[in-house]
Structure 1
Amino acid sequence: MTQRLAAIRARTCRGAARVRASRALRVGAAALVVIGALAFTADRLFPLPTPGRSAPFALIVTARDGTPLRAFPDKLYIWRNPVTLEQVSPRYVQALTGYEDRAFWWHPGVNPFALVRAAGQWIVHRRIVSGGSTITMQVARMIDPTPRTLRGKLHQILRALQLEAHFSKREILTLYLNYAPMGGVLEGVDAASRAYLGKPASNLSYAEAAMLAVLPQAPSLLRPDRFPHRAQQARDKVLHRLADRWPQTVIDDALTEPVYAQTIREPMLAPLLAQRLKRTAHGRLRITTTLDADLQSTVEAQLLDRVRGLPRHASCAALVLDNATLEVRAYAGSADFSDLERASHVDMVRAWRSPGSTLKPFLYGFALDAGLVDSESLLADVPQSFGGYQPGNFEQSFHGAVSVSEALTRSLNVPAVQVLDQYGPDRFVGKLRQGGLKLRFPRGATPNLSVILGGADTSLEYLVGAYASFARGGMAGVPRLTSDAPLEEHRMMSAGAAFIVRDILESGGPLGRAVEERGNNRGVAWKTGTSFGFRDAWAVGVTDRYTVGVWIGRPDGTPNPGYFGANAATPLMMSIFSALPDAVETAQRKPPAGVTQAQVCWPLGNTVDAQPSDLCAEQRRAWLLDGIAPPTFPDAIRGGEPVLRYAVDSETGLRASADCTSHALREAESPLWPAVLEPWLDERSRRLDPPRWQPGCTPPARAEGHLAIGGASTGEIVRRSYGGQAPQLHLTVSGARGSVGWLVNGALAGRAPAANGWTVPLAQPGEYAITAFDESGRYDRITVEVR
């Protein structure tokens, strides 16, 4: 009976316990639900502030390796350099967590043991000995600052718990890396590392990691640039605290390392590019460019050195492009960003300016692709009129018969206009735009022949992107300024045409390579340009690896007399090339498919094996594209076939006709040079001229209106008086149209209206070959001798 009562009593007790336990569980669950609901409600009512919300416009523009180029601080003038956890040295993370918060990776945002310890120290010492803050609590204070009071600490604890609920440990640590106060206007470990130590946070030594880890505890008092002794004491304290985490030998070495910090300076590399990219930041905190920081610094130093030798108000700009990736490695929009007198706030990389002669290589490339020319096609560098447009050369002189290679390397204007006249200005401009090179014409203007001499505007950026086509198989591209910019390419010309034009620019073509015209600059294919009135001086060069463009002038467009592409821009461009790693390749390039060499003949233009030898006055070794040796452009003055057919006496070999010889006649032929070139030909070029007429035979009478020189005749002898003044020969001309040009011994002496004639000074004894020619290409020549 007693046992039974005991059993009943036990069952009753167990039942009561279960009821109490169940009730406790229900109460606990309800409490958790209430707490959870309260926490959820509080989280919604008091959301975490977004890091940086108080300063939404902070931005840093960096080089490709993370080096700051220019910082745009927030409204509080705070500099930050956003980084990820992977971009920071593990040594810094070890020092930070080992010194500040050893339980960081497992606590829920608050370390209760640290809080109890801090409270006990406060009770004993009546002051704060250690704060008990975790890294998470410090992040909470960074994003939502609170006063250092008991109430503030409670607020900080709640925010820390909230942070842990929303972010992973790695994300919380990343926030600390970016927002920790580092003294003055610096926030974040990378900004501090670069400002104080001149290096990224990924490359910290043990001593440097320890110093930066303790700096946020008292950033104003521990700044290594101002208080190196205090900073060293704090750093050593951290190092001793890490004895159980780092080898003792490492700590001993770190303790001997002195604390050194450079003076904080605002980063200011590529300032105009940074300013340009800032306009497209769209809320980003960091923009990574494609620039090489060391190269950028070198290029800016070279521009600064060059501009010191230029007139007041003149400036420079330069752009360096990696041909393989189209990434810009250096971007200098002005010579000295701090020099307002030179309008250095104007970005001349993007400015619209007249390109001078820099478009000529593209014209010859297009003409090659169109089958109009080969590298040695005959062109006429003589005074010509193209529908009333009469271009002249930069040197105010002419060279007579020249090849495409000579015309391009010498940057001759008249031959370029001659080729453009055949190709078509509208077609040329359309082809450039198709290849990505934009041109801007004056309002209401349309493409005309002047475009090849700078009659339309473009920019250094467009030019460099287009010139890269000569090293990229004819593919031009848009220069890429940021690492995430898309690769935009455009077909400018064929790979064969690009190869031929580049070879001409680099070495002068097959003939130029033999005589080494460009000396020490071999390996760089470059072209200069000077706009009308010396307003713009250009030089753009290409190697296998890089394209470099340089502009020199005044941003306001005022002329700089005496400063042109060759003497102002080219030396700077070559100096930049010399600073580039592996800029010039020494290996000889192989011609692409379709590019061959052959001997061509002047004046007809065909290959040697495609015409009789007696029609080949001069041979030239030329680059051919697709095996095509185009004939010389049609003679606009004379018209008809470029071959003169006539009869010669079979016995004497002289010209004759049936009514003046009893011998048999045979047919002969001679090549005809373009009429505009005949006044400029030397005896060597005339060796295939028709023979003289046989005595007794009367040559055909000159057509009425033929140009003729008066006042002297061929064979006339002019005698000098002993001890007197040098004689002068006053000549007249008849049958001329428009103004008349006068050549003396092959050199242009000048031009004058036909009615004025011309006076030739005969200063030295010897033979004088004098030629007069008019705008229609008609001419006459006499030879006199001075004794």
Structure 2
Amino acid sequence: MPASRTAGANRREQACRWPQSALARALGRRSAQVVAGLAFLLIGVAIVADHLYPLPAPGRSAPFALVVTARDGTPLRAFPDKLYIWRNPVTLEDVSPRYVEALIGYEDRAFWWHPGVNPFSLLRAAGQWLIHGRIVSGGSTISMQVARIIDPTPRTLVGKLHQILRALQLEAHFSKREILTLYLNYSPMGGVLEGVDAASRAYLGKPARNLSYAEAAMLAVLPQAPSLLRPDRFARRAQDARDKVLRRMADRWPAAVIHDALTEPVYAQAIREPMLAPLLAERLKRSARGKLRVTSTVDADLQSTVESVLLDRVRTLPRHVSCAALVLDNATLEVRAYVGSADFSDLERASYVDMVRAWRSPGSTLKPFLYGFALDAGLIDSESLLSDVPQSFGGYQPGNFEQSFHGAVSVSEALTRSLNVPAVQVLDQYGPQRFVGKLRQGGLKLRFPRGAEPNLSVILGGADTTLENLVGAYAAFARGGLAGVPRLTSDAPIEEHRMMSAGAAFIVRDILETGGPLGRAVEERGANRGIAWKTGTSFGFRDAWSVGVTDRYTVGVWIGRPDGTPNPGYVGANAATPLMMSIFSALLDAVQTPRRTPPPGVTQAQVCWPMGLAADAQPADLCAVQRRAWLLDGVAPPTFPDPVRGGEPVLRYTIDSVTGRRATADCTTHTLRDAESPLWPTLLGPWLDERSRRFDAPPWETGCAPPGRGEGRLAIAGASSGEVVRRVYGGAPPLLHLSVTGAQGDIGWLMNGAMVGRAAAGRGWTFEFTRPGAYAITAFDQKGRYDRVTVEVR
């Protein structure tokens, strides 16, 4: 064929094909546009529908459900929602991987890749429904089940379509892990339980992170029929359903594991409402601010132990009497146990009142802080001389709890014996306003009656505080003088306040623990070494306290009636301290007895009574009694001024060089030499023994009259020293009436050093002797003048 004809034919053929190719391309473009348009339309419709019909927020129907847990996640108390549903919110990491594997392996193996709906499962379920006329197996994915949980629908075809749309919507808003976490928290688990951790703790008594293979399988299948498969009621059904799950996991779990799991019986405890630290849980609930879970700092095991200790103790106490206790970790200021009432179920004991937070009189528990402040102020050392004798401080006349007095005592003795008069003596020197201000600066709040101002009674319980405040303040003795606010949650800020110097805190703690240098030498408190504690009893036996400190913990205990009614006979020493020691016994690692190194500035030295100065800073003949003392910054301050005599505590006089007696140039021809003697505080005179008086001034030389002799001398009348009082066999105890001469006003009477009473000078006092023996009887007035006679009863 000629070339010209061939070319022409090709041109005609191409001319015929061109319109067909262009049409195809045009149609293809149009189809793509239509598809894209439909896609955009569907996307637009989906966005509008999502906006018009948003997903309900999980838990919106029950916004008040809350669980308060211990630091390890153990529920302390569950507060149900309006429908009385219990939940224990968890994250995916809080749940055992075995449960997640069983759940996905049995319920939705395509969970990680499907878009919310598994079409193959839906087709299978629909086919089974058409063939059998009933649902044989569900086609719901985990996403669809979560959709039904947050937006319940009826089990109808329309309801299923609604569920599918919600599942797709759910996948568009949440990640797979978030969807799975919703299932872990809201899946129905029978009765009032929702979520795997609530079910695990309620049925099995353990957190969901500790599930065995068999337990994981049982809980994985439980949401399919939570009312029919409850292991606490229908153990056989639960076991059959569990075994079905285990067999389905044959391709994922080792055969030996499944075999062992199949032989494990199903056991579940009866559902009980968690009830540990109920008053703390209520307190944290009020500050939850919409949270579903609040994690406290409490140690669940220790909390349970402390509650048991208090419950055992309160059963031995009278009706209406309760107890409270607080255990504080000194390092973190976190509360490890919090018991606001001894028996939360006992309304007779006002169990609903949280006595950890109640304002009550602290009795003598503030004394350690006073002595610490006085150390820092340079007023005392650990062995400074104090006067435990009847005294009046501007009309305020405190007495000791035992209604007796001990005469000359050291700071260490006054603190360990909790003597009232020496504490008031120190506070009188330090100042009540200054003391209260220092406590507040250190974080210890006090509450006074309306219109009242701080006065000397504050050291004996004249103001109120709380157990929580007190424990936080006592932690200062283990934290170098830094007190703190007890923390109830781990995210609470650490609040610290400087209560006293590290040196003062060390000295006071050593006194409370060992009795000070003297007590340390004689092991006076050896049975409880490692624990520094102080007791307190408020006026009228209303409150009994004991607070103890170790290196690691501070423990505070209160016993009393929440309504403030007196509880006679129950004091800090015999009621609260044994309970506190029982708690310390439960803290196995709490009590240690390390050899603590004194902080910088704390040293030991010999000090002298009655002057109070260091032994090497004064003449030997002025040092009547030596004491080994803790000094702060090397300061050994002098004894407080004598309120009766005043002036310098040294008596200067002259002695006859021949006779060694006191004399003046007017009554002797011998050479005189100068001498001096220490003067004890005047009010201590009736209590001093011969050892203390060995440096007293010698008697006067015959013919030398002391100045003012015979003027204002107090003398006992009615008996003389050495007199014998005889008893009549079978008769009444003998009586001896004594009076005084040369005195006016009230006279104090002592028998063998114990205060027996006061009476006007003109009335005297009648003594009754119930037993034979020697009796030293002393009469004294407020100026320190006294007389003493010794009688023997036979």
Alignment TM-score, normalising by the size of structure 2: 0.97
The whole-number CA distance in structure 2 between the counterparts of 1:210 and 1:722 is 91
**CA deviation map 1:497-519 (0-9, x unaligned):** 11111111111001011222223
The whole-number CA distance in structure 2 between the counterparts of 1:407 and 1:586 is 24
Greater alpha carbon shift after TM alignment, 699-708 vs 435-444: 699-708
1:491 has 2:498 as partner: yes
The whole-number CA distance in structure 2 between the counterparts of 1:574 and 1:721 is 47
- Give the deviation of 1:786 after TM superposition: 6.9
1:637 has 2:624 as partner: no
Q: In the alignment, which of 94, 108, 113 is matched to residue 115 of structure 2? A: 108
**CA deviation map 1:352-389 (0-9, x unaligned):** 00001110000001011110110100001111000000
Partner of 1:161: 168
1:672 has 2:692 as partner: no
Q: Map 1:707-718 to 2 at 5 A.
A: 707-713=714-720, 717-718=723-724
The whole-number CA distance in structure 2 between the counterparts of 1:553 and 1:762 is 38
Q: In the alignment, which of 618, 622, 633 is matched to residue 625 of structure 2? A: 618
Q: Map 1:326-725 to 2 at 5 A.
A: 326-702=333-709, 704-713=711-720, 717-718=723-724, 720=726
Q: Map 1:151-190 to 2 at 5 A.
A: 151-190=158-197
- Give the deviation of 1:747 after TM superposition: 2.9
**CA deviation map 1:377-434 (0-9, x unaligned):** 0001111000000001111111110000000000000000000000000000011111
Distance change (3 Å), C-alpha of 1:33 and 1:719? closer
Greater alpha carbon shift after TM alignment, 10-19 vs 229-238: 10-19
Greater alpha carbon shift after TM alignment, 123-132 vs 731-740: 731-740
Residue identity over aligned pairs, in percent, reads 81
Distance change (3 Å), C-alpha of 1:43 and 1:626? same
CA contact (8 A) 2:365 2:536 kept: yes
Greater alpha carbon shift after TM alignment, 55-64 vs 249-258: 249-258
Q: In the alignment, which of 185, 192, 196 is matched to residue 199 of structure 2? A: 192
Paired residue type of 2:621: D
Q: In the alignment, which of 139, 143, 152 is matched to residue 146 of structure 2? A: 139
Q: In the alignment, which of 243, 252, 255 is matched to residue 259 of structure 2? A: 252
- Give the deviation of 1:785 after TM superposition: 6.5
Partner of 2:235: 228
Partner of 1:71: 78
Paired residue type of 2:62: A
Paired residue type of 1:551: W
- Give the deviation of 1:760 after TM superposition: 4.0
**CA deviation map 1:461-509 (0-9, x unaligned):** 0000000100000100000011211111111111111111111111100
Distance change (3 Å), C-alpha of 1:78 and 1:618? same
Stretches of structure 1 lacking an aligned partner (at least 5 in a row) = none
Partner of 1:48: 55
Distance change (3 Å), C-alpha of 1:427 and 1:719? closer
The whole-number CA distance in structure 2 between the counterparts of 1:695 and 1:485 is 79
- The alignment partner of 1:756 has SS state of coil
CA contact (8 A) 1:375 1:403 kept: yes
The whole-number CA distance in structure 2 between the counterparts of 1:102 and 1:427 is 73
CA contact (8 A) 2:723 2:790 kept: no
Paired residue type of 2:193: L
- Give the deviation of 1:281 after TM superposition: 1.2
CA contact (8 A) 1:614 1:670 kept: yes
Stretches of structure 2 lacking an aligned partner (at least 5 in a row) = 1-7
- The alignment partner of 2:473 has SS state of helix
Distance change (3 Å), C-alpha of 1:644 and 1:99? same
The whole-number CA distance in structure 1 between the counterparts of 2:181 and 2:439 is 49
The whole-number CA distance in structure 2 between the counterparts of 1:546 and 1:675 is 44
CA contact (8 A) 1:554 1:560 kept: yes
The whole-number CA distance in structure 1 between the counterparts of 2:344 and 2:638 is 53
Distance change (3 Å), C-alpha of 1:565 and 1:719? closer
The whole-number CA distance in structure 1 between the counterparts of 2:146 and 2:727 is 104
Matched residue count? 786
1:274 has 2:285 as partner: no
Distance change (3 Å), C-alpha of 1:148 and 1:603? same
Greater alpha carbon shift after TM alignment, 250-259 vs 271-280: 250-259
CA contact (8 A) 2:230 2:238 kept: yes
Q: In the alignment, which of 117, 122, 127 is matched to residue 134 of structure 2? A: 127
CA contact (8 A) 1:367 1:423 kept: yes
Greater alpha carbon shift after TM alignment, 195-204 vs 4-13: 4-13
- The alignment partner of 2:762 has SS state of helix
CA contact (8 A) 1:380 1:402 kept: yes
The whole-number CA distance in structure 2 between the counterparts of 1:684 and 1:274 is 61
Partner of 1:17: 24
The whole-number CA distance in structure 2 between the counterparts of 1:206 and 1:745 is 77
- Give the deviation of 1:761 after TM superposition: 5.0
The whole-number CA distance in structure 2 between the counterparts of 1:694 and 1:137 is 114
Paired residue type of 1:472: R
The whole-number CA distance in structure 2 between the counterparts of 1:344 and 1:358 is 25
Q: In the alignment, which of 770, 775, 783 is matched to residue 776 of structure 1? A: 783
- Give the deviation of 1:710 after TM superposition: 3.1
CA contact (8 A) 1:474 1:497 kept: yes
Partner of 1:217: 224
The whole-number CA distance in structure 1 between the counterparts of 2:380 and 2:422 is 12
**CA deviation map 1:146-197 (0-9, x unaligned):** 0011100000000000001111111101000000000110000000010011
Partner of 1:746: 753
CA contact (8 A) 1:273 1:333 kept: yes
- Give the deviation of 1:766 after TM superposition: 7.0
The whole-number CA distance in structure 2 between the counterparts of 1:589 and 1:31 is 82
- Give the deviation of 1:534 after TM superposition: 0.6
Q: In the alignment, which of 302, 312, 326 is matched to residue 305 of structure 1? A: 312
Paired residue type of 2:379: L
Paired residue type of 1:274: A
CA contact (8 A) 1:737 1:776 kept: no
CA contact (8 A) 2:231 2:268 kept: yes
CA contact (8 A) 1:720 1:726 kept: no
- The alignment partner of 1:350 has SS state of coil
CA contact (8 A) 1:523 1:584 kept: yes
The whole-number CA distance in structure 1 between the counterparts of 2:23 and 2:710 is 140
Distance change (3 Å), C-alpha of 1:579 and 1:165? same
- Give the deviation of 1:45 after TM superposition: 0.5
- Give the deviation of 1:13 after TM superposition: 2.1
CA contact (8 A) 2:403 2:755 kept: no
- Give the deviation of 1:233 after TM superposition: 1.1
**CA deviation map 1:77-126 (0-9, x unaligned):** 00000001111111111111111111111111011111111111111111
Partner of 1:90: 97
CA contact (8 A) 1:605 1:630 kept: yes
The whole-number CA distance in structure 2 between the counterparts of 1:241 and 1:134 is 17
- The alignment partner of 1:232 has SS state of helix
